Structure 1
């Protein structure tokens, strides 16, 4: 290291993971995120962008890159500036590269695209040897960071370069993830491992914030807090001034707290547009730190923050936690999180009349704002509780450090990196909603016992397969479930190999005709689709049905198993091989079609989110995906011990809620969710379950049983009646399958 650059004496946690952050040193978001790691065993340092020196009270080791008067080295601050004259000055990217070389962090985390990530990309380009030092995590913030800057040619070029070179991405809303993928980010950088959607400052201490207030909004002073009284690319002040003027006669008396009113042009607009009697009720504030703003919210009835672009606004979440009623704009990042007239009121930033009506409603409707105050605390606790986020973030960095230096023995549970332990104490982040830790269930299976049960049913496995699925080698396998979306996953993840599926296929396990085939063809015909891709086409059963129904449609299959693909080709179908287990494919090389179907595949594979991402990119403009899996919340749940519902056959569990959570994360929006009616080949297995639950049509059969004195409540009699009449389906009784139709968004 150059002699003019001094280093810190030591880290707090010897051998603990090392994370170097790059960001604005005065930002409350920077401080709040890094503070998540206090007393965690993780060593955190900040390479400060050249804007300020953090306050002395913030005791995080910081490389200071601005030479302010009186600045000196200390325990928590090191001057990292250009070499003394007459040497030529070093660019900032060189200073960052030297810092990375000297400390050898396991993770380099850049806070925001502009300027932190741009700087890191420049440093790697100029000093290529640092590419191998540390996993590079990019954190995209809300507002213009990605949403608007991607439309500027210069910014777009730099953003695409960042996404091409970084290792991982974190964002505070799903739209940013979708945009990042469109700009070339490889999807595995989001979830291998991933944090899902996470607040930029790292969440809120909701319990502590709730303890600071007791008055409901209607009982508080008639105060509106406007935290962003300024003019930027992401929010406009003039329409809000006009809205306040239009609303005044209907909301007075009221006090308006205008924060960050420091721009000269905005001050001029305020002076010229506002009548004196309104000005008299406005308190003007300059730059306030976060703690000052938080102290004002418990005394406000309304928090006013319309905007043109944003992530999931921290100001909205803070207002919700502190009982102030939010007025925000119906942005794509906000509408999935809160509901109009339940949690907030929506008003678009450029429409003064909409803002006017929202202000009037919020100031007049006591029942609305009081009911929202109670439910908003519950909602924000679910979305952004800091304690929960802290545990996820610590596990995330620990896992990244383990990937960087596996020999050090740093391990943590992950959806994709494993197999991990499977004790009930294991922490597993849900891979579908990406929000919460999955809960261990009581269902634990023995893989050796399951293979023997298959053998007892006449399946003949090779000695290699029997050896692979060995209990001593794998250990017990536990089912985990997500309390938020319901996704289920057996861990460690043990999927079937080619011999396993070839063996069970030889005993007529698969049926060539299924409800989801018929329904998919109906949907394809309704759209007059010209091209179809069948993902996981197997031996070509669905393609057979499609060719018969629509001979002129351009259809092809995609399959992972070479033998199955060969069988489909022998039936005259075009089939390509795609290795979605090892993810040995490029999104850019995938074929495209008007309709992509994927029947009964996701539940078999280790990383279903990756396959869903591939399906999204196979769709032509206005194309649709048709996806089916077993419905884990339907009658399938009555037979948890069924061989087909356990590893190595099925390793994940799906339902309506899971699809609603997972599909938006890959750029798909569900347009319909349907459930298979009970098919005739399942009458014998499922109707007794229906009878036990006293559901339809049990009441009919039970009535007949009482009249004719039939045994078993009439279920056997009713089953025979259905079979003898040639009934194919019993509608109103859910069968085996859930089928989702989805379109691409973004």
Structure 2
């Protein structure tokens, strides 16, 4: 496995525990210490620095230009270390998660090992938004032409891959974290739900400020009895809300992006929420929306490249945001969802069942285990 330290990756790899596979993780960014939640995996960490010299952190902070000059000689290249580990381990399969941070750094090594099976899991905007993320078309096609097996979280991205160099028949559409474990005890009834939940990404792709501004267009009376919970909030979102006289009248809780909140805690909040709103210019299958659906919250979600409509039927089990920059349209969707309790009740029943049938972690586990065996033998 080649990946950055990431919750979805940890969730995926844990599906292989006790499967009989011997699993190594090469941390492509060498970020942080070993991860206890995947302690059974052999973790390749602390490879980047040739010498962790005294006062390194202080020099990095106070003398950044000097630090950059030193690191040109002090940091090992990803490809060099990866090639060395590849020769030591002699794996049957290399599986990379995400293209730019995990795939590209090892591509040259994988091209020189054509007999080695190479799997790739696309994440988020990896494929759909590659040009906007600064990836050249030639590099994108070169990478896909080396991949032997592709896993996407939506049908849209597989079709794009096919037209851009991926020339194998093998593929799977599986949610990026390997499935959801729904906590049914935390799914509250419609009358018990008292939270409006918002994903707070505002980073060029994420458009959370449009959601925040949409709420400001609503009558205070409509939402004053609800708590507004904003999670994974960028600093721009936090500052905007704190400076808003509108939000000063409401109960608001903000979890900043980078602030650790256990996934189980987020699921419990979803289980208490009437709606879950997330908005972006690009995404793969929005995992947070699927989680919210599984916990009974009515999803209001952007639909870049028509990916979200693979799981949300507009007006039936959720609402699709077709124009991420249209604040008034988003406000109307939120207002309609809050006011139409009957629609939310039907959607809750449908969505909890839908997610359990299609994204159940226990059911997906054997499919994922078998997948590696199949790729190895082909």
Question: What TM-score comes out, normalization by structure 1 length?
Answer: 0.45
Deviation sequence 1:78-116 (CA, Å, 0-9, x none) = xxxxxxx9x975311111111111111111000011211
TM superposition shift of 1:340: 1.4
SS at match of 1:150: coil
Contact in 2 for aligned 1:210/1:377 (Cα 8 Å): no
Provide the residue aligned with 1:23 in structure 2: 3
- Is the contact made by 1:173 and 1:333 (CA closer than 8 Å) also made in structure 2? yes
Checking the alignment, whether the CA contact within 8 Å between 2:208 and 2:278 is kept in structure 1 is: no
Q: Deviations over 1:340-386 (max 9, x none)?
A: 12211222321111211111122222111111111111111232122
SS in 2 for 1:149: coil
**Do the aligned partners of residues 375 and 112 (structure 1) sit closer, same or farther apart at CA in structure 2, a change above 3 Å counting?**
same
Shift of 1:145: 1.2
Shift of 1:204: 1.0
Q: 2:10·2:37 contact (CA, 8 Å) conserved in 1?
A: no
| Distance in 1 separating the partners of 2:127 and 2:340 | 37
Name the residue aligned to 2:196. Answer: 224
In the alignment, what sits opposite 1:201? 177
**Equivalent residue number for residue 209 of structure 2:** 238
| Aligned counterpart, 1:642 | none
Are positions 1:387 and 2:362 aligned together? yes
* 2:65 paired residue number: none
Aligned mates of 1:248, 1:225 — CA distance in 2? 18
Tell me, in whole angstroms, the C-alpha distance in 1 between the residues paired with 2:74 and 2:316. 60
- 5+ residue gaps, structure 2, are 54-70
2:78 to 85, 92, 95: 92
Q: Residue 67 of structure 2 corresponds to which residue in structure 1?
A: none
CA distance in 2, matches of 1:359, 1:54: 42
Q: 1:344 to 1:88 in 2, by over 3 A?
A: closer
Superposition map of 1:338-353 within 5 A = 338-347=312-321, 348-353=323-328
Offset of residue 152 of structure 1: 5.8
- State the 1:153 CA deviation: 6.1
Partner Cα distance (1:337, 1:88) in 2: 48
Q: What secondary structure is seen at the aligned counterpart in 2 of 1:328? A: strand
Q: Residues 237-276 of structure 1: matches in 2 within 5 Å?
A: 237-249=208-220, 250-263=222-235, 265-272=236-243, 274-276=244-246
Quick check: 1:224–1:303 contact (8 Å CA) kept in 2?
A: yes
Q: How far apart are the structure 2 equivalents of 1:238 and 1:320? A: 22
Identify the residue that residue 282 of structure 1 maps to in structure 2.
252
2:293 and 2:348 in contact (8 A); partners too: yes
Q: Report the Cα distance in structure 2 between the residues aligned to 1:140 and 1:36, rounded to whole angstroms.
A: 18
Structure 1 residue 301: Cα displacement: 1.5
Spell out, residue by residue over 1:324-352, the C-alpha distance to the aligned partner (whole angstroms, 9 max, x if none): 11111233111132211221122232111
* Contact 1:138-1:169 within 8 A present in 2 as well: yes
Work out the CA distance in 1 between the residues paired with 2:341 and 2:52.
53
**Structure 1 spans left out of the alignment, 5+ residues:** 1-20, 71-84, 404-746
* Alpha-carbon distance, 1:239 to partner: 1.2
SS of residue in 1 equivalent to 2:217: helix
- CA distance in structure 2 between the aligned counterparts of 1:245 and 1:90, rounded to whole angstroms: 50
Report what 2:308 is aligned to.
Answer: 334
Matched, 1:38 2:38: no
Tell me if the contact between 1:251 and 1:364 (Cα under 8 Å) persists in the aligned partners: no
**How many angstroms does 1:66 deviate by?**
5.1
| Aligned 1:691-706 pairs, distance under 5 A | none
Indicate whether 1:160 and 2:141 are aligned: yes
Deviation for aligned residue 1:401: 2.1
Asked whether the 8 Å contact 2:242–2:248 carries over to 1, the reply is no
Where 2:206 maps in the other structure, the secondary structure is: coil
Does the 8 Å CA contact 2:208/2:280 hold for their aligned counterparts?
A: no
Q: Which residue is 1:149 aligned to?
A: 130
2:176 match: secondary structure: coil
Report deviation, 1:269: 2.8
C-alpha separation in 2, matches of 1:278 and 1:254: 13
Cα deviation 1:386-419 (Å, max 9, x = unaligned): 222211111110122223xxxxxxxxxxxxxxxx
In the TM superposition, what whole-angstrom CA distance separates every residue of 1:611-643 from its partner, at most 9, and x where no partner exists? xxxxxxxxxxxxxxxxxxxxxxxxxxxxxxxxx
Task: Report deviation, 1:230.
Answer: 2.6
Structure 2 residue aligned with 1:303 = 276
Looking at structure 2, the residues matched to 55 and 218 of structure 1 have their Cα atoms a distance apart, in angstroms, of 40
User: Contact conserved, 2:110 with 2:118, CA < 8 A, in 1?
Assistant: no
Higher CA-based Rg: 1
In 1, Cα distance between equivalents of 2:83 and 2:155: 32
1:101 maps onto 2:84 in alignment:
no
Q: Distance in 2 between matches of 1:88 and 1:305?
A: 41
Query: 1:300: Cα distance to partner?
Result: 1.5
Which whole-Å CA distance do the structure 2 matches of 1:89 and 1:307 have between them?
A: 35
Superposed displacement of residue 178, structure 1: 1.1
Task: From the superposition, tell whether residues 69 and 241 of structure 1 become closer, same or farther in structure 2 (CA, over 3 Å).
Answer: farther
* TM value normalised by structure 2: 0.86
The residue number in structure 2 matching 1:358 is: 333
Are positions 1:172 and 2:153 aligned together?
A: yes
Root-mean-square deviation over aligned CA pairs: 2.4
Residues 218 and 301 in structure 1, CA contact (< 8 A), matched pair in contact too: no
* Among candidates 135, 144, 165, match of residue 184 of structure 1: 165
Q: Superposition pairs for residues 628-643 of structure 1, below 5 Å? A: none
Contact 1:146/1:176 (8 A) holds in 2: yes
Number of residue pairs the alignment of both structures matches: 350
Contact 2:210 2:325 in 1 (8 A): yes
Give the match for residue 673 of structure 1: none
CA distance in 2, matches of 1:379, 1:372: 10
